[in-house]
């Protein structure tokens, strides 16, 4: 097993989602996932439309266990009841040019409280200062105004569009460090 440090922000613990936790979640064993993670998981997480995303993450961890630090982390409130309120991380380790792609989602109940900003800033600082990432990208749907505003406020600039189909159009934002 590869030890991955916990990232801590003012209000959150960013807890690595391990193979065991992802497997338990995908098998519907929430009690095991909660036990492994040390936090409570809302009954509607992960959303069924994200199953493929989490399966892909699990396969990436199985293929390259040493890359755990670059994958998903649970956003866990640091309160008496430790509750998962979303997830964030990267799509994998930096490529040959030192670029990583950021991903994040805060559950609807917890949006508009600064948790996305808090977690993204912690991940960016960790990737750039502790791991030497040179460029951070974020791929965002054009109609996701809150996410676009967040990355723009953090200094990201649009660099490309990625159109596989109109339904899946994404704008790619980059930030060089």
Give 74-124 pLDDT, tens digit per residue. Answer: 999 999 899 999 999 998 888 888 898 999 999 999 999 999 999 999 999
Q: Where are the alpha helices (DSSP H) in 65-165?
A: 115-125, 145-153
Residues constituting the chain: 177
Task: For residue range 87-96, list pLDDT tens digits in order.
Answer: 999 988 888 8
List the Cα angle 78/83/85 in 5-degree steps: 100
The residue-averaged pLDDT of 132-139 equals 88
Q: 28 pLDDT exceeds 90?
A: no
Number of folded domains that form the chain: 1
Say which residues have a Cβ less than 8 Å from residue 71's Cβ, sequence separation at least 6: 16, 17, 57, 60, 61, 89, 90, 92
CA pair distance 96, 137, nearest whole angstrom: 14
CATH number of the domain within which 75 lies: 3.40.630.30
pLDDT of residue 1: 47
Q: 69 pLDDT exceeds 70?
A: yes
pLDDT of residue 163: 65
The residue-averaged pLDDT of 2-11 equals 85
Asked if the structure places residue 99 within a domain, the reply is yes
What pTM was estimated for this model as a whole?
A: 0.88
Asked if the structure places residue 106 within a domain, the reply is yes
Asked if the structure places residue 2 within a domain, the reply is no
Domain that residue 96 falls in: 7-176
Asked if the structure places residue 146 within a domain, the reply is yes
Asked if the structure places residue 147 within a domain, the reply is yes
Asked if the structure places residue 1 within a domain, the reply is no
CA pair distance 18, 79, nearest whole angstrom: 22
Mean pLDDT value across the chain = 87
């Amino acid at each position: 097993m590869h030890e991955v440090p916990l990232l801590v922000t003012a209000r959150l613990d960013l807890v690595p989602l391990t193979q065991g936790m992802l497997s338990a979640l995908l098998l519907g064993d929430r009690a095991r996932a909660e036990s492994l993670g040390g936090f409570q998981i809302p009954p509607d997480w992960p959303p069924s439309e994200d199953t493929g995303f989490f399966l892909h993450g699990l396969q990436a961890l199985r293929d390259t266990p040493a890359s755990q630090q670059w994958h998903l982390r649970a956003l866990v409130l640091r309160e008496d009841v430790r509750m998962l309120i979303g997830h964030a991380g990267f799509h994998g380790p930096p490529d040959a040019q030192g670029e990583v792609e950021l991903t994040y989602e805060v559950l609807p109940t917890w949006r508009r409280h600064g948790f996305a900003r808090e977690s993204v800033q912690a991940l960016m600082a960790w990737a750039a200062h502790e791991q030497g990432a040179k460029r951070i990208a974020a791929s965002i749907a054009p109609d996701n105004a809150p996410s676009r505003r967040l990355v723009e406020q953090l200094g990201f600039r649009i660099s490309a569009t990625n159109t596989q189909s109109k339904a899946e159009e994404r704008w790619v934002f980059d930030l060089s460090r």
